[in-house]
Structure 1
């Protein structure tokens, strides 16, 4: 843990920015959703014999009589799944009352048979609303945990129970909402395009270099209309990272009308309504788990090819996307994409970011899939910041900027891998957002290779800088 302490290698400026976060008060991280039931029964489930409703802002459960076991009448939360880690400190707390005095059970357990529990305790509810709090130390290592209230197996017949302010927190001294302090480093995707290619081509002479220089490095996973069930795809990726105590980087890339100026990366959701459904599922699948998300690369760069109505429509979708991460993914840092240093003037990009909802995002991303040096990009980012009403941090894609830009953007020759993913160094973070070796399209030295397709030749050129 405390990877941020190990990453202070950049400069005194970076150190000065980090120290307040370390010295300031820390807060627990909430693992549950809708514990105050402001969204009805969303995220809560029950057995079929125990119907749920919301009564005066509290969760109401009608519990049957005559059941044999505690788990025969049950409610709880298991979707989206949350992680429990061995040795970390947690607290389950809630308010509860019932129509009659009953001894019931609560567990925090793994949601797979035989359902081992890290918290398993009995408590008594009666007609007086009482506050309950159960601190415990995690004894499981699972990304698939659930909370249960087990209400069956009791004499005395049917009864009603009410719950409110249900909270399960990880109180292991993490800064609230800061995913970089909640994890032990960036996640290395074992199923990235380069990693998969190496696995499938172990005898290829290029495999060893690609494995050591690219496939074993942290990089983003891109999600779009090729991802199938977006909730399952995002949930699986973030869940694997969370189980490893690592920070995943994701790219949401599905805006309708993408690449309006006729480049190689067209596509996206079929309609604004479809996009809203898609991005809502994306954010909900992350839930309370830590993550970094880059929202729609290039979406604010090609306005010159769009009508004002199209611009307004796009801004509406981007603002909606930002709001979804703010509402549904409290431990995610979401970055609206701000193009690159050679595309749009800084003052214009600041206006575009503002119009797309930057106020509700953590910050903005720069140089995604491009080649400008980190120094050039930081200068541009600082200029964008200077034109914003309120300063926002930014991250830089360093996956292919080791030799800087030569004025071309689509698979140009002579480019090179840049600094691997890390905190600081000028921007808030340097990240491999574009997957090195993935083609920009059928162009340049990648002629015949569709956009997004991994090429060992392109990868090797980036390793060697030719």
Structure 2
């Protein structure tokens, strides 16, 4: 069970906020809006595999260790398809009185679509419209959203985005979500944090700390140790009046690995581990364990984003 957070610890409005962004006022008094559990997506990748393979000898193992545990809902649908993609998930979380949490991959939705937008102003407008629609769908619900917006494109996903434009896109995206009264916004800085924690902190500050609940690290990764401590120290020094939480993707970081693409030796990490102290790193599954990183490692014939049962089983520690 998750510890329910109390007080104003995650309310930027409870603190003096520095920078150009307005205080994050009107936020719910706890990280999960008063709810005690994260929502388990009944239509998540692992759950769909379990439902489709009732006779598999691996069914119960994957159901118990992965499909029955909360993992973020990945959102990559184009704006016109967001409602159909998300309404049942959000309604299900509301009915269960549990917390929905989303990995909002606008980069895939906007830039990896069949018709990517390669004009700078068009891209910016498209990102803004995508997050406006997402915020509208969430409405007055409480939700936790990890924002992926403006990162360098994968091969085949449009032109490379420069630093200035990346800040513009991320800032516009975060601002749109911030308009929803009960959305807790975490900005994904995985790529920057992995190479330069100071650059990750500077980027987040440029985007606007006042609109953020925190930063997300190692999204889709495997590293047990992240740069959370260093980034936290930088922000505490440069923006001491902002209480910025660090959230790490703990889905597959239970053991050290030598590679980062479906690596052998990886294990499930800690599930839900959150608290009300921003000095502690928060942990949630932001990736469904068993999702392939692409045709590599233990799943050379897989495609990126595909749920592969042998990858899922390899992550589950063997019972002694």
Q: Does the TM-score normalized on the shorter chain lie above 0.5? A: yes
Aligned residues of 2:197 and 2:227 also touching (Cα < 8 A): no
**What secondary structure, in the 3-state scheme, does the structure 1 residue paired with 2:185 have?**
strand
Structure-1-length-normalised TM-score:
0.56
1:221 aligns with 2:73: yes
Moved more, 238-247 or 270-279: 270-279
8 Å contact 1:421–1:432 — kept in the other structure? yes
Could you list the per-position Cα deviations for residues 29-65 of structure 1 after superposition, in whole angstroms to 9, with x for gaps in the alignment? xxxxxxxxxxxxxxxxxxxxxxxxxxxxxxxxxxxxx
Indicate the residue corresponding to 1:335 in structure 2: 186
Q: What is the aligned-residue RMSD (CA, Å)?
A: 3.2
Q: How does 1:363-374 map to 2 (within 5 A)?
A: 363-373=214-224
User: Separation in 2 of the partners of 1:393 and 1:215?
Assistant: 27
What corresponds to 1:439 in structure 2? 292
1:319–1:400 distance in 2 versus 1, CA, 3 Å? same
* Equivalence for 2:22: none
CA deviations 1:103-131 (Å, max 9, x no partner) are xxxxxxxxxxxxxxxxxxxxxxxxxxxxx
Distance change in 2, residues 1:207/1:449 (3 Å): same
Report the TM-score, using the length of structure 2 for normalisation.
0.79
Distance 2:105 2:317 in 1: 29
Counterpart Cα distance in 2 of 1:381 and 1:292: 21
Looking at structure 2, the residues matched to 358 and 388 of structure 1 have their Cα atoms a distance apart, in angstroms, of: 11
Query: What does residue 267 of structure 1 align with?
Result: 112
* Structure 2: unaligned runs, 5 residues or longer: 12-25, 118-122
Which residue does the alignment assign to 1:389?
239
How many pairs align?
A: 289
Distance 1:284 1:294, change over 3 A: same
Following superposition of structure 1 onto structure 2, how do residues 93-104 of structure 1 map, counting pairs within 5 Å?
A: none
- Secondary structure of 2:200 counterpart: helix
Which structure: greater helix fraction?
2
In structure 2, distance between residues paired with 1:308 and 1:450: 23
The answer on whether the counterparts of 1:367 and 1:397 sit within 8 Å (CA) in structure 2 is yes
In 2 relative to 1, CA 308–203 (structure 1 residues): closer, same or farther, beyond 3 Å? closer
Q: Which residue of structure 2 aligns with residue 51 of structure 1? A: none
Tell me if the contact between 1:177 and 1:332 (Cα under 8 Å) persists in the aligned partners: no
Instruction: State the distance in 2 between where 1:231 and 1:201 align.
Output: 28
Question: What is the deviation of 1:446?
Answer: 2.0
Output aligned runs, 1:246-257, within 5 Å. 246-255=98-107
> Shift of the alpha carbon at 1:379?
2.6
Shift of the alpha carbon at 1:252? 1.0
Q: For the residues of structure 2 that align with 1:250 and 1:178, how far apart are their CA atoms?
A: 17
For 1:462, the equivalent position in structure 2 comes to: 315
- 2:305 matched residue in structure 1: 452
Cα distance in 1 between the residues matched to 2:55 and 2:305: 24
> Match of 1:230?
82
Shift of 1:318: 1.1
Note closer, same or farther for the CA distance 1:411–1:312 as it changes in structure 2 (3 Å cut): same
Q: Which has the larger radius of gyration?
A: 1
Give the secondary structure class of the aligned counterpart of 1:255. Answer: helix
Shift of 1:378: 3.6
Q: 1:388 to 1:211 in 2, by over 3 A?
A: farther
Distance 1:175 1:385, change over 3 A: closer
Q: State the distance in 2 between where 1:292 and 1:323 align.
A: 15
Match of 2:59 among 197, 207, 213: 207
More off after superposition, 237-246 vs 376-385: 376-385
Whole-angstrom distance in 2 between the partners of 1:455 and 1:297: 27
Alignment of 1:71-82 (within 5 A): none
Residues 324 and 298 of structure 1: is their aligned pair in 2 closer, same or farther, counting only changes over 3 Å? closer
CA spacing shift, 1:454–1:398, aligned 2, 3 Å: same
Q: CA deviation at 1:388?
A: 4.2
C-alpha change, 1:376 and 1:314, in structure 2 (3 Å) is closer
